[in-house]
Structure 1
Amino acid sequence: MTDPASGRLADIIASRLTAALAPTQLEVINDSHHHAGHLGDDGTGESHWTVVVESGAFVGQSRVQRQRLVNNALADLLAGRIHALAIKARAPGE
Structure 2
Amino acid sequence: MTTTPTADALTHQLQELQPQHMELVNESMNHAGYFDGKESHFKLIIVSETFEGKRLVARHQLIYDRANSLLTSQGGQIHALAIHAYTPTEWQGQNPESPLCAGQNVQ
The two structures share one fold, judged by TM-score above 0.5: yes
Match of residue 81 from structure 1? 77
Aligned residue in 1 for 2:95: none
Candidates 18, 34, 51, aligned match of 2:30:
34
Matching residue within 46, 53, 56 for 1:53: 46
Contact 2:29 2:35 in 1 (8 A): no
Deviation at 1:93, TM superposition (A): 1.2
Query: Cα RMSD over matched residues?
Result: 1.6
User: Is structure 2 residue 3 aligned with structure 1 residue 6?
Assistant: yes
Report the TM-score, using the length of structure 1 for normalisation. 0.85
Q: Is the Cα–Cα contact under 8 Å of residues 36 and 43 in structure 1 kept in the other structure? A: no
Q: TM-score, normalising length from structure 2?
A: 0.75
Distance in 1 (CA, whole Å) between partners of 2:62 and 2:36 is 28
C-alpha spacing 1:42/1:69, structure 2 compared with 1 (3 Å)? farther
Q: Which has the larger radius of gyration?
A: 2
8 Å Cα contact 2:6/2:70 also seen in 1: no
The percent identity for this pair of structures is 37
Gaps in structure 2 of 5+ consecutive residues: 91-107
Counterparts of 2:81 and 2:35 in 1: how far apart (Å)? Answer: 15
Number of matched residues? 87
2:105 maps to none
Task: Give unpaired runs (5+ residues) of structure 1.
Answer: none
**In structure 2, how many angstroms separate the alpha carbons of the residues matched to 1:11 and 1:36?**
23
**More helix per residue: 1 or 2?**
1
List, as ranges, runs of 4+ consecutive aligned residues in structure 1 with deviation greater than 4 Å. 41-44
